[in-house]
């Protein structure tokens, strides 16, 4: 094999390695999220931070703590908004 062919082979190999590394780096930034869980966590945090002073958030029903009816309605609206927002960001 001539020197020129060897150099071309080395250059091609390096380009292939760099292209593969670049793809791996790009893929490293791709994450998978659970949209339902994220929307739920954001809605719960929002409800508890913004509405705690305005309404009763929690009640005990049959020995278990749960949202009041008013808090549940607010949570549902917040959840829907966050879910829609998260879904709209998917590429």
List beta partners, residue 61. 64
Same domain, 48 and 76: yes
Please, are residues 35 and 85 in contact by the beta-carbon 8 Å criterion? no
Q: Say what percent of the chain tops pLDDT 70.
A: 65
Say if pTM beats, i.e. exceeds, 0.85.
no
Nearest alpha-carbon partner for 46 in 6, 90, 80, 78:
78
pLDDT tens-digit readout, 6-17: 555 555 555 555
Same domain, 58 and 25: no
Same domain, 18 and 42: no
Same domain, 38 and 23: no
Phi and psi at residue 67, to the nearest 5°: -70, 150
The length of the chain is 91
Q: Please say if the pLDDT value at position 40 is more than 70.
A: yes
Domain assignment of residue 46, given as a range:
31-91
Q: How confident is the model at residue 67 (pLDDT cuts 50, 70, 90)?
A: very high
Same domain, 83 and 41: yes
């Amino acid at each position: 094999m001539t020197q020129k062919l060897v150099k071309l082979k080395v250059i091609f190999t390096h380009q292939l390695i760099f292209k593969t590394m670049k793809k791996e780096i790009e893929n490293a930034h791709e994450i998978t999220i659970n949209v339902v869980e994220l929307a739920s966590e954001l809605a719960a945090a929002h409800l508890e931070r913004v509405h705690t002073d305005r309404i009763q958030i929690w009640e005990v029903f049959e020995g278990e703590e749960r949202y009041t009816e008013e808090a549940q309605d607010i949570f549902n609206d917040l959840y829907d908004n966050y879910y829609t927002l998260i879904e709209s960001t998917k590429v």
